[in-house]
Structure 1
Amino acid sequence: MEPRWLSPEEQRAWRAYRDLGLVLEDALDQELRHKSGLSHLYYSVMVFLSEAPERRLRMTDLAEQLKIARTRLSYTVTRMEERGWVRREDAPGDGRAQLAVLTEEGLTALEQAAPSHVATVRAAVFDRLTPEQARAFGEACEIILAGLTGPDRPAFPADLPWRR
């Protein structure tokens, strides 16, 4: 069967998205490292934990929210524990599960990093878009994400990273 090649417009859109993802992730990571000593991944861990009840989440749930492999999350949390930003606790009623908990020091680090990070996101993305473009951008991202992670997602050769 002949592949359905991308049209020139689809190819342009795909390459713009691919390049944007790489450059934006790097820019956000550099900004956070320079201004607050956090990687973008550390910042993301702190955000999810700060929004969770009692600032704690099961490690498996946190890996799913971050869309990363559990082994990568475990390594990351270990590094964050060394800095006093996160601690692990055994999950009540489940001797095999652990919780990641955002400490007061971690919350303070997040609160100090957030204003600069939000300013960078705003300058890099939303200040360049009209309100209509921002709405369409968000809708397109949500549709694509649902198609890749929802019940009708395509079969991949390997399971999604956070399920490994």
Structure 2
Amino acid sequence: MSSEQTLLNTWLSFTRIHAELANELDRMLQARHQTALNEFYVLLFLSKTPEKKLRLLELQQLVGLSQSAMSRLSVRMENKSCGVIQRLGYEDDRRGVCAIITDLGEIRLQEILSTVNETLEKSLKNNDIDTALKLFVHAKKQNTGE
């Protein structure tokens, strides 16, 4: 098999693994917490910053959403999710909006993290995913000469 074909197969394996894991995480978060995977990402990224806040533009890039999708998501999380985040304008830029994780958001994140960790542990033990990961690592080593 050519190195180009190996690279393509590696990429396809990687994207399949990612899609399967993301779908399973989303399904579990919806079932247990009525939370979407992107909502989890917002809470996680906010909690990891020293000030517990980010501009929506930064969140948009981290989560991988369009500007309008991020705006809608943040409004939903501020309202629907009982205030797990708060949206504020910046004093120095009246057009800029930032999101801050609230105390309730931090508590909710900890509850969600247990489900995320449990789901990842279970999913990564799945034989199909385990085999695909091994093939991915093997192909990577072949391509880098390790």
Tell me the TM-score range normalised by the shorter chain.
0.7 to 0.9
How far 1:73 sits from its partner (Å)? 0.7
Partner of 2:96: 97
SS in 2 for 1:95: coil
* Per-residue deviation, residues 113-137 of structure 1 (Å, max 9, x unmatched): 11121121233237876xxx6xx69
Partner of 1:55: 52
- For structure 1, the residue ranges without an aligned partner over 5 or more in a row are 141-164
How far 1:86 sits from its partner (Å)? 1.2
Q: Quick one: which amino acid aligns to residue 28 of structure 1?
A: L
The alignment's C-alpha RMSD in Å is: 2.6
CA distance in 2, matches of 1:110, 1:122: 18
TM-score, L = length of structure 1: 0.68
Report the count of equivalent residues. 129
Partner of 2:30: 33
Q: 5 Å matches for 1:122-137? A: 122-125=121-124
Indicate how the Cα distance of structure 1 residues 127 and 15 shifts in structure 2: closer, same or farther if over 3 A, else same.
closer
Q: 5 Å matches for 1:139-158? A: none
How far 1:43 sits from its partner (Å)? 0.4
Q: 5 Å matches for 1:80-119? A: 80-82=77-79, 83=81, 84-119=83-118
Q: Quick one: which amino acid aligns to residue 14 of structure 2?
A: Y
How far 1:18 sits from its partner (Å)? 2.8
TM-score, L = length of structure 2: 0.76
SS in 2 for 1:88: strand
How far 1:50 sits from its partner (Å)? 0.7
CA distance in 1, matches of 2:114, 2:21: 17
Question: Equivalent pairs: percent with the same residue?
Answer: 21
Deviating more after overlay: 109-118 vs 38-47: 109-118
* Per-residue deviation, residues 37-96 of structure 1 (Å, max 9, x unmatched): 211100000000111122111111111222221111111101101121111111132111
Greater length-normalized contact order (CA 8 Å, ≥ 6 residues apart)? 2
Q: 5 Å matches for 1:64-83? A: 64-82=61-79, 83=81
Partner of 2:119: 120
* Per-residue deviation, residues 130-164 of structure 1 (Å, max 9, x unmatched): xxx6xx69xx7xxxxxxxxxxxxxxxxxxxxxxxx
